[in-house]
């Protein structure tokens, strides 16, 4: 018999909710065949099997929460033998890599290299598992005191370092005490909740904000009937990420209006042509192209701050996130290499990503790697708002509903300031940014550049 376990699902994804089991007992499955649907805190993903054979037992059911490393299926081949394929979860492979001696410093008496089988998915193959040369795992290193190293994947160790937690102090809840990312977060919460408030002289946290214990809610049922509902994975993650961004990033928001009268004429003129290509020529799609060109003129807006090394990471690629309102909450798929795509291609990408977001088909990869984000609430209404920066990015552009207003249009031929009032369609823009990386003057220059590019589309052809 072979057990298939939930593999690593992505960076900082400890597990998810089972929404559907795609096989049943008695089915014969192949390597890379989807066997499970999981709703993580970022997307609904199909989990492919790394083993082939006949399913003899299913250990999960819809509605259950499962973590990485949990057993999903028990599989055997037709003769009752162990099924083919690798059953080593990615997390275990990460541990093996973490414990492997480096070429520069081999362990004394270490055995020679050997071949280990890795899941076909990890190799990018859809056929059979591939063989990969790897160092055999050395004995776990022992910290001071003679205790073995804490059982945790590299991604979990990285999270512990980022939040300032000693991984050896964390109590693991997984099999054989294995430590998950949720264990690290819970350990960090206990530390923070035990710290006194700022008023009692408590030290500030790494983000510059003093940690405060959670204040319990009053008993609302004293005043009438109430109902409690658990937060969805997406809502919980949105809450955690925005709380982190708000307490870590010193936000500033600047506002302006762009005259989109000419843009609207172009949009109406070419809407059907773009629709024939499979896209939707929206203001958002056109702004993605504007922003992608703008960050090449202002590279600090396509960067991230690394406070641990006191460095700013400038990204040479241009990926633009687009916030999408769904029935599960806010999701932000990413238009990749937006600077090298024309507006039609971007319109197709935005349309397809939005559809996938609403139908729960977005992958984790499609929501990763953004450099700057656009959040358009114009379809709902409003004038201005103050969007929260999508950490670890440093800027986000908020877009509200276009409104028709009278604008004084001077007559350049007279040279005497003569002109007239004209009705023009104006688009309210709100730019929030990380003041640690971006100064107010640069933010205003960036926003004015965006406004001028919207009002004079030739600027995109000139500099794009």
Residue 101: inside a domain, yes or no?
A: no
Instruction: Please give the residue range of the domain that contains residue 297.
Output: 235-463
Residue 19: inside a domain, yes or no?
A: no
pTM: predicted TM-score of the whole model, two decimal places? 0.60
| Mean pLDDT for the stretch of residues 443-460 | 89
Annotated active-site residue in 147, 244, 251, 435: 435
Q: Residue 34, class by beta-carbon neighbours within 10 Å (0-12 exposed, 13-18 middle, 19+ buried)?
A: middle
Known catalytic residue: 147?
Answer: no
What's the angle, vertex CA 19, arms to CA 17 and CA 22, rounded to 5? 125
pLDDT at 448 exceeding the cut of 60: yes
Residue 360: inside a domain, yes or no?
A: yes
| Mean pLDDT for the stretch of residues 407-420 | 76
Residue 300: inside a domain, yes or no?
A: yes
Q: Residue 216, class by beta-carbon neighbours within 10 Å (0-12 exposed, 13-18 middle, 19+ buried)?
A: exposed
pLDDT in tens, 226-246: 999 888 777 888 888 888 899
As a whole number of angstroms, the distance between CA 159 and CA 147 comes to 21
Residue 196: inside a domain, yes or no?
A: no
pLDDT in tens, 251-310: 999 999 999 998 999 899 999 999 999 999 999 999 999 999 999 999 999 999 998 899
pLDDT in tens, 351-383: 999 999 888 888 888 888 999 999 999 888 888
Task: State the CATH number of the domain containing residue 431.
Answer: 3.30.559.10
Structure tokens at 380: 């709902």
197 alpha-carbon distance from chain centroid: 31
List the beta bridge partners of residue 399.
376, 429
Total tally of structural domains belonging to the chain: 1
Beta strands in 260-394, from DSSP E residues, in sequence order? 303-306, 311-314, 320-322, 324-326, 329-331, 334-335, 372-376
pLDDT at 431 exceeding the cut of 90: yes
Range with lowest mean pLDDT among 96-110, 281-295, 308-322: 96-110
Residue with the larger pLDDT of the pair 157 and 323: 323
As a whole number of angstroms, the distance between CA 260 and CA 427 comes to 6
As a whole number of angstroms, the distance between CA 389 and CA 332 comes to 12
pLDDT in tens, 115-150: 333 333 333 333 333 433 343 333 344 444 444 567
Residue 256: inside a domain, yes or no?
A: yes
Residue 30: inside a domain, yes or no?
A: no
> CB of 429 within 8 A of CB of 377?
no
């Amino acid at each position: 018999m072979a057990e298939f376990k939930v593999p690593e699902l992505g960076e900082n994804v400890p597990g998810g909710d089972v929404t559907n089991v795609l096989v049943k007992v008695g089915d014969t499955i192949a390597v890379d065949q989807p066997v499970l649907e999981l709703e993580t805190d970022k997307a609904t993903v199909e989990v492919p099997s790394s083993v082939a054979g006949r399913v003899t037992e299913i250990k999960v059911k819809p509605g259950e929460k499962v973590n990485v490393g949990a057993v999903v299926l028990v599989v055997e081949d037709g003769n009752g033998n162990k099924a083919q394929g690798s059953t080593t979860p990615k997390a275990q492979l990460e541990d093996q890599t973490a414990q492997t001696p480096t070429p520069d410093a081999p362990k004394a008496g270490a055995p020679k290299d050997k071949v280990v089988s890795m899941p076909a998915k990890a190799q990018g193959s859809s056929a059979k598992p591939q063989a990969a040369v790897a160092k055999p795992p050395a004995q776990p290193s022992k910290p001071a005191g003679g205790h073995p190293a804490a059982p945790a994947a590299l991604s979990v160790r990285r999270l512990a370092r980022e939040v300032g937690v000693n991984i050896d102090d964390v109590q693991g809840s997984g099999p054989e005490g294995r430590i998950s990312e949720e264990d690290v977060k819970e350990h960090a919460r206990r530390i923070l909740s035990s710290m006194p408030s700022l008023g009692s002289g408590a030290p500030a946290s790494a983000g510059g904000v003093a940690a405060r214990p959670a204040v319990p809610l009053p008993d609302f049922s004293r005043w009438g009937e109430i109902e409690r509902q658990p937060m969805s994975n997406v809502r919980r993650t949105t809450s955690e990420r925005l709380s982190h961004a708000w307490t870590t990033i010193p936000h500033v928001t600047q506002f302006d209006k762009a005259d989109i009268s000419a843009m609207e004429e172009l949009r109406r003129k070419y809407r059907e042509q773009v629709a024939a290509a499979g896209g939707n020529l929206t203001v958002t799609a056109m702004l993605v192209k504007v922003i992608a060109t703008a960050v090449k003129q202002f590279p600090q807006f396509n960067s991230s701050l690394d406070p641990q090394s006191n460095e700013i990471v400038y990204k040479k690629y241009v990926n633009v996130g687009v916030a999408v309102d769904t029935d599960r909450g806010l999701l932000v798929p990413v238009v990749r290499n937006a600077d090298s795509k024309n507006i039609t291609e971007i319109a197709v990408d935005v349309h397809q990503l939005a559809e996938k977001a609403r139908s729960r088909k977005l992958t984790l990869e499609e929501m990763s790697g953004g450099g700057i984000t656009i959040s358009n609430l114009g379809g709902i209404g409003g004038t201005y708002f103050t969007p929260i920066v999508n950490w670890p990015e440093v800027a986000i552009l908020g877009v509200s509903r276009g409104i028709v207003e009278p604008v004084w249009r001077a007559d350049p031929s007279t040279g005497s300031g003569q002109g007239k009032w004209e009705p023009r369609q104006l688009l309210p823009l709100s730019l929030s940014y990380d003041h640690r990386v971006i100064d107010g003057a640069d933010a205003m220059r960036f926003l004015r550049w965006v406004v001028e590019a919207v009002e004079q589309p030739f600027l995109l052809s000139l500099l794009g």
